[in-house]
Amino acid sequence: MRRLLFAANWKMHLGPSQAREFMGAFLTSYQGLPDREVWFFPPAVSLAAVAQAIRGRSGLAAGAQNVHWEPKGAFTGETSVAMAKDAGATAALVGHSERRHVFGETDQETGCKVRALLDGGLAPVLCVGEKLEEREAGATLTVVERQLRVLEGLDPAALQRIVIAYEPVWAIGTGRNATPQDAAQVHRAIRAWLTAHGAPAPSVPVLYGGSVSVDNVGSLVAEPEIDGVLVGGASLDPARWTRLASVPAN
Protein backbone atom coordinates (compact mmCIF):
# COMPACT_ATOMS: atom_id res chain seq x y z
CA MET A 1 0.00 0.00 0.00
CA ARG A 2 1.34 3.45 -0.98
CA ARG A 3 1.64 5.56 2.18
CA LEU A 4 0.74 9.24 1.99
CA LEU A 5 1.89 12.12 4.20
CA PHE A 6 -0.36 15.09 4.96
CA ALA A 7 1.66 17.85 6.65
CA ALA A 8 0.23 21.01 8.20
CA ASN A 9 2.46 24.10 8.37
CA TRP A 10 0.76 26.55 10.70
CA LYS A 11 3.37 29.25 10.08
CA MET A 12 2.93 32.13 12.61
CA HIS A 13 -0.57 31.11 13.70
CA LEU A 14 -2.11 29.32 16.70
CA GLY A 15 -0.43 29.89 20.04
CA PRO A 16 -0.44 27.19 22.75
CA SER A 17 -4.04 27.65 23.94
CA GLN A 18 -5.33 27.82 20.35
CA ALA A 19 -3.23 24.80 19.43
CA ARG A 20 -4.73 22.75 22.26
CA GLU A 21 -8.22 23.80 21.19
CA PHE A 22 -7.44 22.91 17.56
CA MET A 23 -6.06 19.49 18.45
CA GLY A 24 -9.06 18.74 20.67
CA ALA A 25 -11.42 19.42 17.76
CA PHE A 26 -9.26 17.57 15.24
CA LEU A 27 -8.79 14.46 17.36
CA THR A 28 -12.52 14.29 18.01
CA SER A 29 -13.38 14.25 14.31
CA TYR A 30 -10.40 12.66 12.53
CA GLN A 31 -10.89 8.93 12.14
CA GLY A 32 -7.46 8.12 10.71
CA LEU A 33 -6.74 6.16 7.56
CA PRO A 34 -4.32 3.24 7.19
CA ASP A 35 -2.72 4.68 4.04
CA ARG A 36 -1.44 7.95 5.54
CA GLU A 37 0.29 9.90 8.25
CA VAL A 38 -0.61 13.40 9.42
CA TRP A 39 2.18 15.67 10.65
CA PHE A 40 1.82 19.06 12.33
CA PHE A 41 4.37 21.89 12.18
CA PRO A 42 3.16 24.49 14.71
CA PRO A 43 5.05 27.60 15.88
CA ALA A 44 7.83 26.81 18.33
CA VAL A 45 5.81 28.00 21.33
CA SER A 46 3.01 25.55 20.45
CA LEU A 47 5.13 22.52 19.61
CA ALA A 48 4.95 20.92 23.05
CA ALA A 49 1.18 21.40 23.23
CA VAL A 50 0.66 19.65 19.89
CA ALA A 51 3.12 16.86 20.70
CA GLN A 52 1.41 16.22 24.02
CA ALA A 53 -2.04 16.10 22.39
CA ILE A 54 -1.03 13.39 19.91
CA ARG A 55 1.21 11.35 22.18
CA GLY A 56 0.59 7.65 21.70
CA ARG A 57 -1.65 8.13 18.65
CA SER A 58 -0.61 6.13 15.61
CA GLY A 59 -0.07 7.98 12.34
CA LEU A 60 0.26 11.44 13.90
CA ALA A 61 3.48 13.39 14.54
CA ALA A 62 4.68 16.88 15.42
CA GLY A 63 7.60 18.81 13.97
CA ALA A 64 9.41 22.13 14.20
CA GLN A 65 9.10 24.84 11.57
CA ASN A 66 12.76 25.77 11.86
CA VAL A 67 15.92 24.86 13.77
CA HIS A 68 19.45 26.19 14.14
CA TRP A 69 22.33 23.92 13.21
CA GLU A 70 24.41 24.70 16.31
CA PRO A 71 23.64 22.58 19.40
CA LYS A 72 23.65 25.58 21.77
CA GLY A 73 25.07 29.06 22.18
CA ALA A 74 24.40 32.78 21.89
CA PHE A 75 21.73 32.56 19.20
CA THR A 76 18.84 34.57 20.62
CA GLY A 77 15.49 33.55 19.21
CA GLU A 78 16.71 30.27 17.73
CA THR A 79 15.78 26.67 18.59
CA SER A 80 18.30 23.83 18.57
CA VAL A 81 17.54 20.35 17.26
CA ALA A 82 17.83 18.95 20.79
CA MET A 83 15.35 21.52 22.10
CA ALA A 84 12.86 20.69 19.36
CA LYS A 85 13.24 16.99 20.06
CA ASP A 86 12.77 17.55 23.80
CA ALA A 87 9.54 19.44 23.04
CA GLY A 88 8.23 16.42 21.13
CA ALA A 89 9.34 16.99 17.53
CA THR A 90 10.17 14.05 15.31
CA ALA A 91 10.82 16.18 12.20
CA ALA A 92 11.50 19.75 11.08
CA LEU A 93 10.97 21.86 8.01
CA VAL A 94 14.15 23.03 6.28
CA GLY A 95 14.53 25.62 3.53
CA HIS A 96 10.89 26.69 3.35
CA SER A 97 10.50 29.46 0.78
CA GLU A 98 9.73 31.99 3.52
CA ARG A 99 12.98 31.10 5.29
CA ARG A 100 14.85 31.47 2.00
CA HIS A 101 13.20 34.58 0.55
CA VAL A 102 11.98 36.49 3.61
CA PHE A 103 14.75 35.67 6.09
CA GLY A 104 17.58 35.17 3.60
CA GLU A 105 18.45 31.57 4.44
CA THR A 106 21.13 30.32 2.07
CA ASP A 107 21.61 26.89 0.54
CA GLN A 108 24.69 26.48 2.75
CA GLU A 109 22.64 27.16 5.90
CA THR A 110 19.95 24.78 4.70
CA GLY A 111 22.56 22.08 4.27
CA CYS A 112 23.87 22.67 7.79
CA LYS A 113 20.35 22.31 9.18
CA VAL A 114 19.73 19.06 7.27
CA ARG A 115 22.87 17.51 8.74
CA ALA A 116 22.14 18.77 12.24
CA LEU A 117 18.67 17.22 12.10
CA LEU A 118 20.00 13.90 10.87
CA ASP A 119 22.66 13.89 13.57
CA GLY A 120 20.02 14.73 16.18
CA GLY A 121 17.61 12.00 15.13
CA LEU A 122 14.91 14.17 13.50
CA ALA A 123 13.61 13.83 9.95
CA PRO A 124 14.39 16.84 7.72
CA VAL A 125 11.55 17.95 5.43
CA LEU A 126 13.55 19.76 2.76
CA CYS A 127 11.48 22.33 0.85
CA VAL A 128 12.49 23.18 -2.71
CA GLY A 129 10.84 25.27 -5.40
CA GLU A 130 11.18 28.04 -7.95
CA LYS A 131 9.98 31.64 -8.06
CA LEU A 132 7.62 32.83 -10.80
CA GLU A 133 10.33 34.49 -12.86
CA GLU A 134 12.41 31.32 -12.70
CA ARG A 135 9.47 29.24 -13.86
CA GLU A 136 8.75 31.62 -16.73
CA ALA A 137 12.42 31.44 -17.74
CA GLY A 138 12.20 27.65 -17.92
CA ALA A 139 14.60 27.26 -14.99
CA THR A 140 12.38 25.21 -12.66
CA LEU A 141 14.48 22.04 -12.72
CA THR A 142 17.74 23.98 -12.57
CA VAL A 143 16.60 25.74 -9.39
CA VAL A 144 15.22 22.60 -7.77
CA GLU A 145 18.34 20.57 -8.52
CA ARG A 146 20.54 23.37 -7.10
CA GLN A 147 18.53 23.30 -3.90
CA LEU A 148 18.82 19.50 -3.74
CA ARG A 149 22.61 19.69 -3.92
CA VAL A 150 22.71 20.37 -0.17
CA LEU A 151 22.11 16.60 0.13
CA GLU A 152 25.25 15.67 -1.80
CA GLY A 153 27.63 13.53 0.20
CA LEU A 154 24.95 11.95 2.37
CA ASP A 155 24.94 8.16 2.34
CA PRO A 156 21.88 6.23 1.13
CA ALA A 157 20.75 5.45 4.69
CA ALA A 158 20.70 9.17 5.54
CA LEU A 159 18.90 10.09 2.32
CA GLN A 160 16.13 7.63 3.16
CA ARG A 161 15.41 9.56 6.37
CA ILE A 162 14.59 12.75 4.43
CA VAL A 163 11.27 14.02 3.07
CA ILE A 164 11.27 16.38 0.08
CA ALA A 165 8.52 18.98 -0.37
CA TYR A 166 8.24 20.64 -3.78
CA GLU A 167 6.66 24.04 -3.21
CA PRO A 168 6.68 26.38 -6.21
CA VAL A 169 7.06 29.81 -4.60
CA TRP A 170 4.57 31.40 -6.99
CA ALA A 171 1.85 29.01 -5.75
CA ILE A 172 2.23 29.51 -1.99
CA GLY A 173 -0.69 31.44 -0.54
CA THR A 174 -1.67 32.83 -3.94
CA GLY A 175 -4.60 30.61 -4.81
CA ARG A 176 -2.63 29.39 -7.83
CA ASN A 177 -1.26 25.89 -7.86
CA ALA A 178 0.68 23.74 -10.24
CA THR A 179 -1.49 21.22 -12.05
CA PRO A 180 -1.09 17.65 -10.82
CA GLN A 181 0.69 16.87 -14.08
CA ASP A 182 3.10 19.81 -13.70
CA ALA A 183 3.87 18.82 -10.13
CA ALA A 184 4.36 15.19 -11.08
CA GLN A 185 6.92 16.20 -13.73
CA VAL A 186 9.03 18.00 -11.13
CA HIS A 187 8.58 15.13 -8.68
CA ARG A 188 9.93 12.71 -11.30
CA ALA A 189 12.99 14.92 -11.72
CA ILE A 190 13.49 14.97 -7.93
CA ARG A 191 13.29 11.18 -7.80
CA ALA A 192 15.77 10.88 -10.65
CA TRP A 193 18.20 13.16 -8.77
CA LEU A 194 17.80 11.11 -5.59
CA THR A 195 18.35 7.85 -7.44
CA ALA A 196 21.48 9.24 -9.09
CA HIS A 197 22.82 10.13 -5.63
CA GLY A 198 22.25 6.74 -4.07
CA ALA A 199 18.76 6.85 -2.57
CA PRO A 200 16.24 4.22 -3.64
CA ALA A 201 13.73 6.79 -4.96
CA PRO A 202 10.51 5.13 -3.74
CA SER A 203 11.85 5.25 -0.18
CA VAL A 204 11.97 9.08 -0.10
CA PRO A 205 8.51 10.71 0.14
CA VAL A 206 8.09 13.68 -2.21
CA LEU A 207 5.26 16.05 -1.23
CA TYR A 208 3.61 18.92 -3.08
CA GLY A 209 2.82 22.26 -1.46
CA GLY A 210 1.26 25.45 -2.79
CA SER A 211 -2.40 26.50 -2.42
CA VAL A 212 -3.51 22.96 -1.60
CA SER A 213 -7.21 22.79 -0.77
CA VAL A 214 -10.00 20.29 -0.12
CA ASP A 215 -11.01 20.78 -3.74
CA ASN A 216 -7.67 19.93 -5.37
CA VAL A 217 -5.94 17.59 -2.92
CA GLY A 218 -7.63 14.46 -4.29
CA SER A 219 -6.35 15.04 -7.81
CA LEU A 220 -2.87 15.80 -6.49
CA VAL A 221 -2.43 12.67 -4.39
CA ALA A 222 -3.98 10.58 -7.15
CA GLU A 223 -0.74 11.15 -9.08
CA PRO A 224 1.58 8.24 -8.28
CA GLU A 225 4.56 10.63 -8.16
CA ILE A 226 2.98 12.73 -5.38
CA ASP A 227 3.31 11.14 -1.94
CA GLY A 228 1.31 13.74 -0.04
CA VAL A 229 1.00 17.45 0.58
CA LEU A 230 2.44 20.24 2.72
CA VAL A 231 -0.41 22.61 3.51
CA GLY A 232 -0.45 26.14 4.92
CA GLY A 233 -3.65 28.17 5.14
CA ALA A 234 -6.01 25.24 4.65
CA SER A 235 -4.57 23.54 7.75
CA LEU A 236 -5.52 26.31 10.20
CA ASP A 237 -9.15 25.32 10.70
CA PRO A 238 -9.63 21.91 12.34
CA ALA A 239 -12.80 21.03 10.44
CA ARG A 240 -11.32 21.95 7.08
CA TRP A 241 -8.03 20.23 7.88
CA THR A 242 -9.89 17.09 8.93
CA ARG A 243 -11.73 17.01 5.61
CA LEU A 244 -8.56 17.66 3.65
CA ALA A 245 -6.51 15.02 5.48
CA SER A 246 -9.32 12.49 5.00
CA VAL A 247 -9.70 12.87 1.22
CA PRO A 248 -9.11 9.47 -0.42
CA ALA A 249 -6.39 9.01 -3.01
CA ASN A 250 -8.43 8.32 -6.12
Please answer whether residues 9 and 211 qualify as being in contact, where contact means their C-beta atoms are separated by less than 8 angstroms.
no
Which residue among the candidates 96, 105, 109, 225 is catalytic per the annotation? 96
Which residue among the candidates 130, 167, 223, 225 is catalytic per the annotation? 167
Please answer whether residues 214 and 192 qualify as being in contact, where contact means their C-beta atoms are separated by less than 8 angstroms.
no
Count the neighbouring beta carbons within 10 Å of the beta carbon of residue 236: 17
**98 noted as active-site residue:** no
57-62's contacts with Cβ under 8 Å and 24+ in sequence apart are 57/27, 58/32, 59/32, 59/33, 61/37, 61/90, 61/91, 62/88, 62/89, 62/90
Going from the C-alpha of 72 to that of each of 90, 112, 121, the distances in angstroms are 19, 14, 16
Please answer whether residues 199 and 180 qualify as being in contact, where contact means their C-beta atoms are separated by less than 8 angstroms.
no
Helix (H, G, I), strand (E, B) or coil at 99: helix
**167 noted as active-site residue:** yes
Annotated catalytic sites, by residue? 96, 167
